[in-house]
Amino acid sequence: MSEKPVLVIDHPMRRLKLAKVVVNMAVGESGERLANAVKLLEELTGQKPSLRQAKRTIKEFGIRKGENIACVVTLRGEKALNFLRRVLETVKYTIKESSIDDYGNISFGIREHILLPGTKYDPSIGIFGFDVNIVLERPGFRVSRRRRKRNKIGKNHRRIPRSEAKMFLEKVLGVKVVGKGG
């Protein structure tokens, strides 16, 4: 088993680690297309996706509030790392700097799932795109999620500067972060 991806900075409580990878496949409609997306996402990630519902009715698109329109998978640990390596290979290990926010989240999209290495086109399913969200965190983030003695995390500990997120991507995952110009 490989080592967990961790970037050690000056202090052990300031180090960064990969918390989770969230894969979202928004279809915009329920029915057969959504069922195909669920099947495909389960095939790509090896994990059963959960369905997401529309928050409001949009008549122009034919969407009703409460209708299932997307599927999502949250990957952690070794599964997240393996999937992330496949996806990063698709984007040639480059991510735009504008894809990184100030809280350790990196988001980018894949236009067609058939671009992933080892994936074959199935005409019965079709072609789908998906979004990949990488969440980084520091030690101690569990304090805000646990049931007993839950507490808030300070702003300086919760905020992960873009420079540190870029350093994590470059040193731990081997990703080149390109500037705003390209």
How much is the pTM? 0.87
> Does any domain span residue 1?
no
Tokens of 13: 């409580």
> Does any domain span residue 136?
yes
Listed residue (43, 51, 53, 26) closest to 129, CA to CA: 26
> Does any domain span residue 61?
yes
Q: What CATH number is given to the structural domain containing 49?
A: 3.30.1440.10
- Contact call for residues 20 and 136 (beta carbons, < 8 A): no
> Does any domain span residue 121?
yes
**Which domain does 53 fall in, by range?**
6-178
pLDDT in tens, the chain (182 residues): 455 677 667 888 888 999 999 999 999 888 899 999 999 999 999 999 999 988 988 888 888 898 899 999 999 999 999 999 999 999 999 999 999 998 889 999 999 999 888 888 889 888 999 999 999 999 988 899 999 999 999 888 889 999 899 999 999 899 999 986 55
> Does any domain span residue 64?
yes
Q: How many domains does the chain have?
A: 1
